[in-house]
Structure 1
């Protein structure tokens, strides 16, 4: 409100002038009242608008808080789910690692057994190879001896046969001459000449 104006003590003036002053004051008061009413109306509208904005902001703030609360809850749910999945995966990975470690240990044991079996097999093969080589050498020696014996026997047999043939040849030589003479005589008895036949 505008400050009150100081009122002057009425002085005795002209009544017409006083009436026109009153009218001017009245008009001015009406204008002041109208201005004040406009100002009050503007202030009321501003207050109503501010209150509406306040209600709207309060509602929006409540909505945002609810949304934030939902997002926090969602984040907690996601974190909880991720944590659960992480624990599950960690458990599964741990059991898989344990299983693979057992498999590796078992395979190492099998490898050691296989290596031992391979060494044993190599030793046995080497032993068999040695025995085979020894047997082959013995057989070769026997074969060489047999060959030598056979040659010896063959030479002895051939020498014996040669001497027997020589004796037989000498015996047949005498017999041949005798037979030849007998045949010549027989032929001459029949009147045949042996050189002609």
Structure 2
């Protein structure tokens, strides 16, 4: 019988050892699990902090993104407004320049017409002036010719008149001298008739 006991004891010992071993294994597993849980909790806490920080950063980034989107919308609106104002100004300036160009073209056309008329008038005036100058030169030449003829006629008339006067004066002088001689002779004769000498008187 004893061998049976020994067998039972061995079984009991092995069972006990197995139980102790399994308890030790369980404890080790439990400790490892606790350590794993602590590590996982730390890891989870870090992850939670990271998540909180990431959410905070995400909220900040979303806020900044919204602010940037708003700013971008404002800038786009401002650009649209500026483009609209510049387009209006450009259209206004283009209309003004087109009007000014048209007005200047009309003025140039009118001035060209006036210039053409003035040049035609100038040519006409020059032709008329040339005609008048030719007529004036012809009249002056004719008058000079007539003046020269009149001078010649006047000189001739003057010479003829002077010659005639000289000859008349000569004739008159001769007549006066003859008369004077007759009168002197007559008075001499009278004085002689009275007995007077004419040379004494």
Q: Work out whether the TM-score is over 0.5.
A: yes
- Which among 115, 132, 144 is matched to residue 119 of structure 2? 115
**What corresponds to 2:132 in structure 1?**
128
For CA contacts below 8 A with separation 6 or more, give which structure has more relative contact order: 1
Give the drift of 1:100.
0.5
Give the drift of 1:103.
0.3
Structure (1/2) with the larger helix percentage: 2
Distance 1:21 1:167 in 2: 199
Query: Where does structure 1 differ by over 6 angstroms across 4 or more consecutive aligned residues?
Result: 18-29
- Which among 143, 146, 150 is matched to residue 147 of structure 2? 143
Distance 1:188 1:107 in 2: 115
Query: For residues 34 and 168 of structure 1, do their structure 2 counterparts lie closer, same or farther at Cα, with a shift above 3 Å needed?
Result: same
- Which among 166, 183, 188 is matched to residue 170 of structure 2? 166
**What corresponds to 1:3 in structure 2?**
none
Root mean square deviation of aligned Cα? 3.4
Q: How many residues align?
A: 185
Distance 1:188 1:139 in 2: 73
The TM-score normalised by the length of structure 1 is 0.75
Query: For residues 29 and 178 of structure 1, do their structure 2 counterparts lie closer, same or farther at Cα, with a shift above 3 Å needed?
Result: same
The TM-score normalised by the length of structure 2 is 0.74
Distance 1:136 1:25 in 2: 152
**What corresponds to 1:101 in structure 2?**
105
Q: Which of structures 1 and 2 has the bigger CA Rg?
A: 2
Give the drift of 1:176.
2.5
What are structure 1's unaligned runs of at least 5 residues? 1-9
Distance 1:51 1:126 in 2: 106
Query: For residues 69 and 189 of structure 1, do their structure 2 counterparts lie closer, same or farther at Cα, with a shift above 3 Å needed?
Result: same
What are structure 2's unaligned runs of at least 5 residues? 1-13
